[in-house]
């Protein structure tokens, strides 16, 4: 099981195009470029967290498995190379805090905000949370604490709610968070100079470089929905059960055709997930056209993926089908989810 990990390297080499907050009070103590880069990364966390929340919440009626969700995303300062700068940039009072809150989520209703520091969960101090759980052993040491905290949050939410003690600029308060039930799925920005997105069965990861390339949240949602679709359709498990080679030799023969089938399904489902969450499904066409023209046969277009023109045609077909479907409670039941056995 993968925790919400932040793979951290050379973030200074990245260029952030997101608008940055005005910075003051640093007194030259912190490198302004590093602070800006961290704030840019936090904004990407915020956007992906909000998009992911809308996708899993809006499509909940069509997911057979469900998960409790609060709508906030945690970070551990220990994951950052320069911890003092990270703590300053993220506005944390201590080591564990919130970097993203989704609009209209339970966390938003509880008035939690990015920068809030988590001090205790159900009266257990963050410092007392055990990291000896054997399930955490596979995590790199620097991610073990955040993995332990996220597990503890999930367990508390599965039972009822979680009482959180949070602080903001030194002032503590206690809030009770009651989750909503949504489709399963986690979302994270992975710091990388590559443009890529992955789905591991549980987590959707989008690199910072790709996230900066999206022109708007609809394009961002197109890629998040494609990766989420892989997870909801359990493609990882299915391809593993079929012993599909996803390495170099997966580019040929039966493995390639099975991967391609999974890619087509993810593309087809993605536009339904987007529409139900209030995103413009045509953004998938806009994004892949722009990406395809600029990248040609790039990372998303190996022999296991359709070339971009074919993908665009597939989106057009699917959106045409959606136009003929009667909405149920304002939503379009996705055939790929509702006809699953």
> Which residues of the chain form contacts with Zn ion (CB under 5 A)?
263, 266
* Whether 47 contacts 219, CB under 8 Å: no
In angstroms, give the least distance from the CB of 209 to Zn ion: 18
- Rounded to an integer, what distance in angstroms lies between the CA atom of residue 219 and that of residue 191? 19
In angstroms, give the least distance from the CB of 305 to Zn ion: 7
Q: Which is nearer to Zn ion, 177 or 266 (CB)?
A: 266
In angstroms, give the least distance from the CB of 16 to Zn ion: 26
- Rounded to an integer, what distance in angstroms lies between the CA atom of residue 63 and that of residue 44? 26
In angstroms, give the least distance from the CB of 199 to Zn ion: 7
DSSP 3-state assignment of 70? coil
In angstroms, give the least distance from the CB of 267 to Zn ion: 8
- Rounded to an integer, what distance in angstroms lies between the CA atom of residue 130 and that of residue 168? 25
* Other CB atoms within 10 Å distance of the CB of residue 325: 14
Sign of CA dihedral 90, 210, 192, 11: negative
* Whether 116 contacts 168, CB under 8 Å: yes
Q: Give ∠ CA 200-301-2 in degrees, rounded to 5.
A: 10
- Rounded to an integer, what distance in angstroms lies between the CA atom of residue 82 and that of residue 243? 42
Q: Which is nearer to Zn ion, 139 or 263 (CB)?
A: 263
Q: Which is nearer to Zn ion, 38 or 336 (CB)?
A: 336
Give CA torsion, residues 181, 186, 187, 190, to 10 deg. 160
In angstroms, give the least distance from the CB of 4 to Zn ion: 21
Q: Which is nearer to Zn ion, 163 or 261 (CB)?
A: 261
Q: Which is nearer to Zn ion, 35 or 189 (CB)?
A: 189
- Rounded to an integer, what distance in angstroms lies between the CA atom of residue 170 and that of residue 176? 19
In angstroms, give the least distance from the CB of 229 to Zn ion: 8
Q: Which is nearer to Zn ion, 48 or 100 (CB)?
A: 48
Please report the beta strands in 77-161, taking only residues with DSSP state E, as ranges in sequence order: 96-101, 117-121, 124-125
Q: Which is nearer to Zn ion, 263 or 318 (CB)?
A: 263
């Amino acid at each position: 099981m993968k925790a919400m990990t932040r793979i951290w390297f050379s973030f200074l080499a990245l260029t952030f195009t997101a608008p940055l907050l005005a910075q003051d009070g640093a007194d030259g103590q912190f490198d302004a470029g590093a602070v800006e880069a961290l704030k840019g990364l936090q904004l990407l966390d915020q956007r992906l967290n909000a998009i992911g929340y809308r996708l899993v919440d809006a499509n909940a009626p069509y997911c057979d498995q469900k998960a409790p969700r609060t709508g906030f995303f945690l970070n551990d300062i220990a994951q950052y190379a320069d911890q003092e700068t990270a703590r300053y940039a993220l506005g944390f009072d201590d080591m564990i805090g919130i970097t993203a809150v989704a609009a209209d989520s339970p966390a938003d209703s509880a008035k939690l905000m990015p920068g809030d520091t988590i001090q205790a969960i159900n009266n257990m101090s963050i410092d007392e949370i055990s990291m000896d759980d054997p399930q955490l052993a596979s995590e790199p040491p620097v991610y073990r604490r955040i993995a332990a905290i996220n597990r503890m949050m999930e367990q508390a939410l599965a039972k009822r709610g979680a009482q959180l003690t949070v602080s903001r600029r030194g002032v503590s308060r206690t809030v009770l968070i009651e989750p909503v039930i949504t489709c399963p799925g986690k979302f994270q920005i992975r710091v990388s100079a590559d443009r890529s997105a992955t789905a591991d069965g549980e987590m959707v990861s989008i690199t910072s470089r790709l996230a900066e390339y999206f022109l708007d949240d609809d394009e961002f949602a197109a890629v998040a929905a494609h990766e989420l679709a892989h997870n909801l359709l359990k493609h990882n498990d299915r391809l593993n059960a079929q012993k599909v080679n996803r390495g170099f030799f997966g580019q040929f023969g039966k493995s390639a055709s099975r991967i391609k089938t999974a890619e087509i399904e993810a593309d087809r489902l993605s536009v339904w997930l987007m529409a139900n969450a209030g995103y413009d499904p045509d953004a998938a066409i806009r994004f892949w056209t722009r990406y395809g023209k600029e990248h040609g046969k790039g990372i998303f277009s190996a022999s296991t993926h359709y070339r971009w023109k074919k993908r665009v045609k597939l989106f057009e077909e699917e959106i045409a089908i959606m136009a003929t479907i009667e909405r149920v409670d304002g939503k379009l039941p996705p055939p790929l989810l509702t006809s699953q056995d």
